[in-house]
């Protein structure tokens, strides 16, 4: 998945796939029975170590051992191959500095805690992209023990956290394509110069098989990532013959040593074309395909289902991603519906919304990549060696898991079986208070939001989020310049679109709602309205033209009556053409109301005494079961201004004395009572005086 997007898309979207029928391979390996306790194939299924059919769900570690330009925002020259990334860094900080940088880069990009997190999220295997030069020195024709030691350490981590592994030759000797992902110098020398490069590839895989033949943690070997045979070696027939011949040679060499592991065979042209790769040439192989930026219906994989049926060989979706959460969900469900396991690309990138982990842009790093990526006709200032070194090492430090942001929506789209109907708060939204538009509930399109442009299926890279910030849904989010708002706003808002938030209304009452909006003069402004639990509240709110998409102003919805408890707030775009940053709910008048239905009858907050209070206040409450109580106080803008550490209380009536140091004003006490099964929220207004 990389910077050669248009070429790959042509392959993936192309309809005229050719097949071979009635051709018998000149060479079929006859194998001993596979070892017991290993993954293996049986007909069109992959079986686990116990012999049960398995639909595997995994994550790729792209960028770790094979750096890719788009992942680290270094895309100049050739799109950012490992060799050019290193050359650029050497140019800035020297060979020794680059060596130290890459040592830190590898240590931080993937550590044991990354593997633990992947297992905790719910994935069951990892695809490990490898560079041949990690394992083999072509100048001395010797193996590099430090590279194998790194892989051994990685395998130990995976063993500890019960994650299976597929080893992937992501960058082969000589380069399997002319593109940056294969670390090419611009020519696919694996095909144009088969001697020595194909010999080296066979040597490396033979050594991998020798070392790991008895390791059941390894599902199998992904022999060549995304091969693209060049026109320079001949027509389509010649190219297809060359690919098959190398695969057969690799299989023969591996099977002399290892009959235990599955061989994953990727199609030509970025793992999409399987011409002349049938009939199968091994009795324990899988056809591995990749899928990017096309539709999510079965029509896009029918040719692969036919390939599987004709040859009685399993399929595996070995790479996919770089789109929106709705696309992620629909593609993984499509694959699983047809019995196809998958592996998602990829686990971590810098400043991304499409991976589970997003590493920060380090201080000074933007100046470095601006310089490196600048075209010759518009150069950027070259950073000093010291500035470049500080920025690069800060970038590497930022790759540490603890420095990364986790994208919960990405994980939910991939792994939550209830994602289609899921509603999960992105964060708590107490009312009164501020609700940021971009912090709508986690869930699938149609469940928690509606947007007219959800995903990229037109052969172009990108996601459904036109602003490519903060979240990976179809909702368009960009960085905001609103001096009174959140750092992100929802933009490109079109007629009929809507957003929802799970809110906790602490006090029944009459509220005013402020909306921070912006609209360009090219449009006519717009109209929005609110609903609570799908029941419309209040009138239409006109949005005026403000003079620019980042020229912010406030519009108001006055005198809205809201009940207490947990509810779903919905904002509907009646007429589109504006941006929305946030809403602020301000209580004008409290009204009496019963506690929310979910509060057990045996729990009650009787109020505060004295009220108003100065210094100390006593909260009177009762409970019919032992609880662990936690107290918060929030101001009229919903900001938490006081938190009391949890305490345990038994059954009965209690008076909890606290001393919140608060300025004069009205507040809400929020008493959380945890009974071991659920946490119940009770609220009461209090007033602080001098």
Rounded Cα–Cα distance for residues 547 and 518 (Å) = 8
First to last CA, the chain: 63
User: Domain 604-688 maps to which CATH number in 2.60.40.1220, 3.40.50.1980, 3.20.20.70, 3.10.20.30?
Assistant: 2.60.40.1220
Rounded Cα–Cα distance for residues 107 and 154 (Å) = 11
The pLDDT tens digits for 390-437 are: 999 999 999 999 999 999 999 999 999 999 998 999 999 999 999 999
Residue 595: is its pLDDT beyond 70? Answer: no
Q: Count other Cβ atoms within 10 Å, centred on residue 534.
A: 8
Q: For residue 635, what pLDDT band results from cuts at 50, 70 and 90?
A: confident
Retrieve residue 362's tokens: 């380090």
Give the closest residue to 471 by CA, choosing from 553, 399, 412, 531.
412
- Confidence at residue 41, expressed as pLDDT on a 0 to 100 scale: 99
Over residues 175-185, the mean pLDDT reads: 97
Over residues 82-99, the mean pLDDT reads: 98
The two beta strands, 665-674 and 679-688, are antiparallel
Residue 169: is its pLDDT beyond 90? Answer: yes
Q: Count other Cβ atoms within 10 Å, centred on residue 233.
A: 14
Rounded Cα–Cα distance for residues 658 and 610 (Å) = 12
- CA-based radius of gyration for the chain: 29
> Which residues touch 666 (CB under 8 Å, ≥6 apart)?
635, 636, 685, 686, 687
Which part of the chain has CATH 3.20.20.80?
A: 5-64+110-346
- Confidence at residue 598, expressed as pLDDT on a 0 to 100 scale: 60
- Confidence at residue 601, expressed as pLDDT on a 0 to 100 scale: 81
Residue 12: is its pLDDT beyond 50? Answer: no
Residue 609: is its pLDDT beyond 90? Answer: no
Which part of the chain has CATH 2.60.120.260?
A: 423-590
Give the closest residue to 62 by CA, choosing from 10, 114, 100, 13.
114
Annotate 402-460 with DSSP letters as a single string. Answer: GGSEE-HHHHHHHH-TTGGG--B-SS--EESEEEEGGGPPBS-BTTTEE-S-----SS-
Rounded Cα–Cα distance for residues 77 and 372 (Å) = 9
Q: Which of 30-44, 185-199, 224-238, 418-432 has the lowest mean pLDDT?
A: 30-44
Q: Count other Cβ atoms within 10 Å, centred on residue 375.
A: 8
Over residues 612-619, the mean pLDDT reads: 92
- Confidence at residue 23, expressed as pLDDT on a 0 to 100 scale: 31
Residue 22, judged by CB atoms within 10 A of its CB (0-12, 13-18, 19+), counts as: exposed
Which part of the chain has CATH 2.60.40.1220?
A: 604-688
Q: For residue 17, what pLDDT band results from cuts at 50, 70 and 90?
A: very low
Residue 202: is its pLDDT beyond 90? Answer: yes
Residue 9: is its pLDDT beyond 80? Answer: no
Over residues 217-239, the mean pLDDT reads: 97
Rounded Cα–Cα distance for residues 365 and 389 (Å) = 10
- Confidence at residue 32, expressed as pLDDT on a 0 to 100 scale: 37
- Confidence at residue 113, expressed as pLDDT on a 0 to 100 scale: 99
- Confidence at residue 592, expressed as pLDDT on a 0 to 100 scale: 62
The pLDDT tens digits for 530-563 are: 999 999 999 999 999 999 999 999 999 999 999 9
Residue 618: is its pLDDT beyond 80? Answer: yes
Rounded Cα–Cα distance for residues 58 and 341 (Å) = 8
Q: Is cis: bond before 346, omega within 30 of 0?
A: yes
Give the closest residue to 68 by CA, choosing from 81, 55, 86, 77.
81
- Confidence at residue 156, expressed as pLDDT on a 0 to 100 scale: 99
Give the closest residue to 519 by CA, choosing from 495, 500, 492, 541.
492
Q: Percent of the chain having pLDDT more than 70? A: 93
Residue 514: is its pLDDT beyond 80? Answer: yes
CATH code that applies to domain 5-64+110-346: 3.20.20.80
Give the closest residue to 88 by CA, choosing from 398, 461, 391, 399.
391
Residue 28: is its pLDDT beyond 60? Answer: no
Rounded Cα–Cα distance for residues 265 and 48 (Å) = 19
- Cβ–Cβ < 8 Å for 289, 317: yes
- Cβ–Cβ < 8 Å for 685, 668: yes
- Confidence at residue 459, expressed as pLDDT on a 0 to 100 scale: 76
Q: For residue 638, what pLDDT band results from cuts at 50, 70 and 90?
A: low
Residue 134: is its pLDDT beyond 50? Answer: yes
Topology of the domain comprising 423-590: Jelly Rolls (2.60.120)
| More confident site: 36 or 378 | 378
Query: How far from the centroid of its chain's Cα atoms is residue 224's Cα?
Result: 25
């Amino acid at each position: 998945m990389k910077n050669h997007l248009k070429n790959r898309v042509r392959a993936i979207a192309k309809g005229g796939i050719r097949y071979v029928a009635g051709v018998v391979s000149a060479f079929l390996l006859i194998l001993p029975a596979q070892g017991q306790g290993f993954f293996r194939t049986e007909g069109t299924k992959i079986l686990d170590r116990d012999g049960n059919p398995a639909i595997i769900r995994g994550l790729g570690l792209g960028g770790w051992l094979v750096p890719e330009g788009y992942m680290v925002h270094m895309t100049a020259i050739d799109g950012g191959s490992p060799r050019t990334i290193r050359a650029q860094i050497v140019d800035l900080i020297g060979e020794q500095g680059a060596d130290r940088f890459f040592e830190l880069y590898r240590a931080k990009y993937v550590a044991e805690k990354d593997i633990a997190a992947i297992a905790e999220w719910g994935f069951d295997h990892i695809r490990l992209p490898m560079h041949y030069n990690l394992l083999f020195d072509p100048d001395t024709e010797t193996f590099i023990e430090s590279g194998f030691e790194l892989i051994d350490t990685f395998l130990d981590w995976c063993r500890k956290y019960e994650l299976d592994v597929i080893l992937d030759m992501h960058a082969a000797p000589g380069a399997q394509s002319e593109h940056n992902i294969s670390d090419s110098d611009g020519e696919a020398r694996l095909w144009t110069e088969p001697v020595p490069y194909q010999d080296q590839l066979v040597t490396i895989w033979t050594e991998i098989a020798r070392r790991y033949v008895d390791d059941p943690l390894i599902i199998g070997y992904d022999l060549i990532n995304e091969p693209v045979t060049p026109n320079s070696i001949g027509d389509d027939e010649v190219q297809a013959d060359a690919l098959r011949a190398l695969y057969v040679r690799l299989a023969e060499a591996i099977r002399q040593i290892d009959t235990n592991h599955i061989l994953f065979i990727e199609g030509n042209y970025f793992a999409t074309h399987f011409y002349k790769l049938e009939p199968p040439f091994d009795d324990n192989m899988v056809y591995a395909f990749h899928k990017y930026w096309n539709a999510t219906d079965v029509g896009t994989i029918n040719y692969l289902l036919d390939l599987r049926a004709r040859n009685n060989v399993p399929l595996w979706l070995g790479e996919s991603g770089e789109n929106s959460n709705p696309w992620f969900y629909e593609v993984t469900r499509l694959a699983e519906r047809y019995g196809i396991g998958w592996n998602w690309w990829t686990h971590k990138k810098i400043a991304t919304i499409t991976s589970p982990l997003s590493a920060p842009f380090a201080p000074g790093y933007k100046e470095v990549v601006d310089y490196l990526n600048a075209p010759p006709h518009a150069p950027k200032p070259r950073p000093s060696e010291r500035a470049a070194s500080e920025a690069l090492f800060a970038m590497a430090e930022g790759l540490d898991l603890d420095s990364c942001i986790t994208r919960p929506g990405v994980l939910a789209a991939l792994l939550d079986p209830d994602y289609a109907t899921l509603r999960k708060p992105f964060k708590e939204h107490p009312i009164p208070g501020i609700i940021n538009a971009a912090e709508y509930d986690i869930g699938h399109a149609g469940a928690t939001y509606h947007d007219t442009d959800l995903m990229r299926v037109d052969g172009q890279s990108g996601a459904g989020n036109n602003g490519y910030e903060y979240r990976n849904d179809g909702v368009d989010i960009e960085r905001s310049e609103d001096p009174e708002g959140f750092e992100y706003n929802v933009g490109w808002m079109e007629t009929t679109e809507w957003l929802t938030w799970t809110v906790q209304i602490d006090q029944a009452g009459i509220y005013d709602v402020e909306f921070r909006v912006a609209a360009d003069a090219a449009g006519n402004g717009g109209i929005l309205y609110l609903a609570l639990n799908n029941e419309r509240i209040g009138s239409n709110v006109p949005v005026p033209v403000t003079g620019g998409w980042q020229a912010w102003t406030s519009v108001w919805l006055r005198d809205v009556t809201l009940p207490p408890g947990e509810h779903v707030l919905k904002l509907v775009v009646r007429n589109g053409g504006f941006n929305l940053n946030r809403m602020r709910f301000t209580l004008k008048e409290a009204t009496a109301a019963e506690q929310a239905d979910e509060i057990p009858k045996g729990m009650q907050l009787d109020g505060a005494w004295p009220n108003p209070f100065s210094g100390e206040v006593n909260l009177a409450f009762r409970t019919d079961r032992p609880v662990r109580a936690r107290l918060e106080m929030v101001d009229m803008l919903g900001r938490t201004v006081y938190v009391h550490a949890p305490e345990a209380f038994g059954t009965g009536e209690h008076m909890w004395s606290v001393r919140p140091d608060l300025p004069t004003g009205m507040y809400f006490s929020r008493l959380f009572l945890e009974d071991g099964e659920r946490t119940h929220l009770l609220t009461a207004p209090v007033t602080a005086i001098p």
